Amino acid sequence: MRLPIRLIPLLVLLPAIAGAQLGGRPSTLGLIRDARIAEAMRDLSPAELRRIDSTLVAFGTRHTMSDTLSPTRGIGAARRWIHAELAAAAAACAGCLRVEYDTGRAVVGRSPARPTVALWNVVAWLPGRDTSRVVVMGAHYDSCICSTDGMDAVSDAPGADDDGSGTAAVMALARVMGQRFPTGFDATVAFVLYTGEEQGLLGSTQFAERLAREGKRVVAAFTDDIIGNVVADDGRRDDRSVRVFAVDSLAIGGGELARYVWAVGARYQPRFEVLPVLRLDRLGRGGDHRPFVERGIPGLRFSERLENYKRQHLPTDSLADVDFDYVARVARLNLAAVAALAAAPDRPAQTAYARDRASGGQAFQIRWSPVAGAARYELLVRRTTDPTYTRIVDAGSDTSYLLDEQLDDVWVGVRAVGADGHRSLTTVVGAPGGPRLAPAARPR
């Protein structure tokens, strides 16, 4: 979808290299390699992804305002098939997934007629021990030929890459993670197939508002959008890297989420390069992570490295140009990131710092709020000009630590470590606009 240029933040592009290295290799930031996650990643097959995307394309068009009654064509047939596929996956894991429609209505502001459209997101929930804490993994299943006519709900709009590729990945993830982790993780995972993306992120906005209304704490909101093309118009080929877009807001933690996924990739799939791009999205474009970011939630978009705008939003977005080996690599990265985050405790909600007078200001006392289920905590340190963290400090089980760093010159993140070794996202200490602990009481 296109966004008004004035809404695109002017942020920085992180160098598209594994620039921050420890020991000559891309940094894993101390994340563990869970054998169960690595085994589950192998279950994501290119053949299954092709089958799903082929069926989506066969519906002709999945425009949000297209036919809802036909059993073979249009958005109605597509959503019913998606729901049935997810319901079958739930049955295969003895009901481990809870499948539902998330419905509502919204005005299409992009049309001069401003029609009201029905929204039918399809959601598969994998409940965790904490049902109030949620990791969102989404993609949009609607399609369009918006480059010709955004309101054309009749003509063929195959949308094989945009976003049949992402939809196939999320549907396959729900099946595999349900089978491999039927009792869930510490946090709940929501696999969401959005509609209305091409009309202005309508489905994802509806779901983000619902989670807020229900009092859910969203750990992170991921979206797969356009993850299948590997050949540029000039013939260049790249099937060994993927871009991850996230706003580098210290208070929200978007950059921290990008660094986490970067590290997950280095740990689980080192030959598939993660390229963090610290901006909300491509210039003039937008995706379904945006409504979450606007609500103060870390959000991230996975997108292919090489896009071809001669196919997007056009009848030429065909199945022949989707590389399903590549889609499988992206889906495996998705699985590792979602599972690692969902298995970890929450991140500290608040932080505080104080200059240490005894050291003449060369050390800082760092404090943070306790996290349920945390066995211990770690502090991560990087220079303000470094792309990712280069030092990890074990802070023990207390919620304060005297750090031998001059905080003026570095960024420090604090994270919780679970009993099984899974690490949470980092919360940046002293982030401008971030939540702060009350000042510590001075001894009398």
Output the domain CATH number for residue 48: 3.40.630.10
Q: Is the pLDDT of residue 48 over 70?
A: yes
Q: Give the count of domains, the chain.
A: 2
- Give pLDDT, residue 441: 61
Residue 6 is predicted with a pLDDT of: 32
pLDDT, tens only, 72-106: 999 999 999 999 999 999 999 999 999 999 999 99
Q: pLDDT tens digits, residue range 111-167?
A: 888 899 999 999 999 999 999 999 999 999 999 999 999 999 999 999 999 999 999
- Residue 357 sits in a domain whose CATH number is 2.60.40.10
Domain boundary among 296, 327, 343: 343
My answer on whether 206 and 337 are in the same domain is yes
pLDDT value of position 17: 32
Does position 13 have pLDDT exceeding 50, yes or no?
no
Cα–chain center distance at 56: 22
Determine, yes or no, domain membership for 182: yes
CA–CA gap between residue 195 and residue 75 (Å, rounded): 9
Do residues 339 and 355 share a domain? Answer: no
213 and 281 together in one domain: yes
Give the bridge partners for 276, in sequence order: 244
Binned at pLDDT 50, 70 and 90, residue 25 comes out as: low
> Is residue 13 one of the residues assigned to a domain?
yes
pLDDT at 439: 77
241-245 β-sheet, strand order: 98-107, 116-126, 187-194, 130-140, 217-224, 299-304, 241-245, 273-277
* Same structural domain, 111 and 144: yes
Please state which of the ranges 288-292, 375-379, 409-413, 436-440 shows the lowest mean pLDDT: 436-440
**pLDDT confidence of 24, banded at 50, 70, 90?**
very low
The pLDDT mean for the chain works out to 93
17 and 104 together in one domain: yes
Q: What is the pLDDT of residues 306-352, one digit of tens each?
A: 999 999 999 999 999 999 999 999 999 999 999 999 999 999 999 99
Same domain, 329 and 191: yes
- Residues 402 and 269 placed together within one structural domain of the fold: no
CA atoms of 237 and 355, how far apart (whole Å): 51
**219 and 315 belong to one structural domain:** yes
pLDDT at 38: 98
Provide mean pLDDT across the span 270-295: 95
Domain boundary among 317, 343, 369: 343
Boundary residue ending a domain (343, 374, 393): 343
pLDDT at 142: 98
Lowest mean pLDDT among 5-9, 200-204, 389-393, 399-403: 5-9
**365 and 333 within one domain:** no
Identify the pLDDT of residue 442. Answer: 57
- Domain presence at residue 372: yes
3-state secondary structure the chain: CECCHHHCCCCECCCCCCCCEECCEECCCCCCCCHHHHHHHCCCCHHHHHHHHHHHHHCCECCCCCCCCCCCCCHHHHHHHHHHHHHHHHHHCCCCCEEEEEEEEEECCCCCCCCEEEEEEEEEEECCCEEEEEEEEEEECCCCCHHHHCCCCCCCECCHHHHHHHHHHHHHHHHHHHHHCCCCCCEEEEEEEECCHHHCCHHHHHHHHHHHHCCCEEEEEEEECCCCCCECCCCCECCCEEEEECCCCCCCCHHHHHHHHHHHHHHHCCCCEEEEEECCCCCCECCCCHHHHCCCCCEEEEEECCCCCCCCCCCCCCHHHCCHHHHHHHHHHHHHHHHHHHHCCCCCCCEEEEECCCCCCCCEEEEECCCCCEEEEEEEEEECCCCCCCEEEEEECCCEEEECCCHHHEEEEEEEEECCCCECCCEECCCCCCCECCCCCCCC
Residue 413 covered by a domain: yes
Whether residue 81 is contained in a domain is answered as: yes
Span 207-229, average pLDDT: 98
What are 241-259's pLDDT values in tens digits? 999 999 999 999 999 999 9
Instruction: Tell the residue number behind the tokens 């549907």, with chain if given.
Output: 171
Q: Is residue 52 part of a domain?
A: yes
Q: What is the pTM of this model?
A: 0.93
Shared-domain flag, residues 324 and 404? no
Question: What proportion of the chain, given as a percentage, has pLDDT over 70?
Answer: 93
Let me know if residue 433 belongs to a domain: no
The answer to whether residue 437 is domain-embedded is no
pLDDT at residue 8 in the model:
31
Judge if 71 and 176 occupy the same domain. yes
230 and 336 assigned to the same domain: yes
Domain of residue 397 covers: 351-428
**Number of other CB atoms surrounding residue 94 within 10 Å:** 9
